[in-house]
Amino acid sequence: MKYVYIKTWGCQMNEYDSSMIAMFLKKEKKYSITEKAENADILILNTCSIREKAQEKVFHQLGRWKKLKNKNSDIIISVGGCVATQEGKEIFKRANYVDIIFGTQTVHKLPYMIEEVQKKRKSMIDISFPNLEKFNHSLQPKVSGHTAFVSIMEGCNKYCSFCVVPYTRGHEISRPSDDILLEISILAEKGIREVNLLGQNVNAYETRAFNGKTCYFSDLLRLVSEIDGIDRIRFTTSNPLEFTDDIIDVYRDTKKLVSFLHLPVQSGSNRILRLMKRSYTIQDYENIVKKIKLARPNIQISSDFIVGFPGESEKNFLETINFIKKINFDMSFSFIYSSRPGTPAAEMKDNTSLSEKKKRLYILQNCINKQTMSWSRKMLGTIQSVLVEGVSKKNIMELYGRTENNRIVTFQGSPKIIGKFVNLEINKVHTHSLKGKLLLK
């Protein structure tokens, strides 16, 4: 038995890929997953290239693993994910003790590559893009808890000027709807009650169904809602450019779709959006939000923001702050712009100091936090439907669950209700979490 340690950085797609890697290896009956790198025979680093200095972060980690390999030359070190796809053979040049480099679309080949390295003691690389081949090798989905992520598509065609995803994940390609529905049906049979549909741009989903008709994202949402046992549906992430009326209509007639939407905007300035090549305007975004709120009046919206994009003036930043207040976003993922090698934005002139960017990020996050707290206060005294996920990590005498609008709620109750939906009266609020009282039926 060989022990495998998997370290994962980045988005939920990377987490999903790592779970697939674990399944592929366990299928071989000769690998076991360990939680400690020191105990491993095979070290796997699944990387992310979104943040600044992502490559350096990878090589720092590899340097730590090199010490383990110096003690045991039989250890196999594998690097995968977006940095592996982006850097390719350059990783071997800087870290010649690495044995395997695999890409975002070749995770299913890892068991074979490991076996070949063990036999021939020769490094291997495969960062090709064989479309959705990895899903053809997927097994019975792994279940942990009562919520699950399900990948419905890979890649992106948008080529935003700041983003590396089209280069590291490839072009948009959608999984067959029948395969997705089968996977979710199996998950439901195993006790999953909530699914989160994953993709770089889920609202671009489009494929042929078994009957020959085109299945769009709105169709897929409705089909998933018909699966017995699945009571709550989320998705991440989407692009305003393709948030079409047929998707908005689903909010009107599909109650299993949560009243919470993450819709990245990136900036509140039309000038910056043009530089980002986002291909929509602030007015377009506002119109989408108006339509969604007509279909689902109680919906709450979160977004992504990049602060300090090359060329962003003080005026442009203030436009973003005013836009945040106007839409009244509930939450956000917000970051200082990170230059990614090979992207058009990396060649743009950037005159804003790091200290100014940090100041702007602080102002933006403070604005969002105030709005988040305001939304939380509105929940005080309300009755919320909560999926009970387990025992609280902070207090073993309490359980925790999640509301539709993505708030964690802790409360006292019997472990017998884990995996079930319960009604809680919210009696205490914090910015990102709540306290509740269980209402008995």
Q: Is 11 annotated as a binding residue?
A: yes
Q: 74: closest CA among 31, 113, 117, 29?
A: 117
Q: Does the annotation place 82 within a ligand binding site?
A: yes
Q: Which of 3.40.50.620, 2.40.50.140, 1.10.3720.10, 3.30.70.890 would CATH assign to domain 380-438?
A: 2.40.50.140
Give the domain ranges of the chain.
2-126, 133-356, 380-438
Tokens of 306: 């990049």
Res 430: pLDDT? 87
What is the pLDDT at residue 138? 62
How far are the Cα atoms of 33, 145, 178, 356, 357 from residue 194, in angstroms, in the given order? Answer: 26, 10, 19, 41, 38
Q: Is the peptide bond before 237 cis (omega within 30 degrees of 0)?
A: yes
Q: Exposed e or buried b for every residue in 170-184, given b needs 16+ CB within 10 A?
A: bebbbbbbeebbebb
Q: Is 156 assigned a ligand-binding role in the annotation? A: yes
* DSSP 8-state symbol, 416: G
Hey, do 2-126 and 133-356 end up sharing a CATH topology, with the first three levels equal? Answer: no
Beta strands in 81-237, from DSSP E residues, in sequence order: 100-102, 124-126, 147-151, 153-154, 173-174, 194-198, 206-208, 214-216, 232-236
Flag whether 48 is marked binding.
Answer: yes
Class of domain 133-356: alpha beta
Q: Which pLDDT belongs to residue 52? A: 67
- At the topology level, CATH places domain 2-126 in Rossmann fold (3.40.50)
pLDDT per residue, tens digit, the chain (441 aa), is 899 999 999 888 888 889 889 988 988 889 999 999 999 999 999 998 877 677 888 999 999 999 999 999 999 999 999 999 989 999 999 999 999 999 988 999 999 999 999 998 899 999 988 777 777 766 556 677 899 999 999 999 999 999 988 888 889 999 999 999 999 999 999 999 999 999 999 999 999 877 788 999 999 999 999 999 999 999 999 999 999 999 999 999 999 999 999 999 999 999 999 999 999 999 999 999 999 999 999 999 999 999 999 999 999 999 999 999 999 999 999 999 988 888 999 999 998 999 999 999 999 999 999 999 999 999 999 999 999 999 998 899 999 999 999 999 999 999 999 999 999 999 999 877 899 999 986
CA-to-CA distance for 315 and 313, rounded, in angstroms? Answer: 5
215: annotated binding-site residue? Answer: no
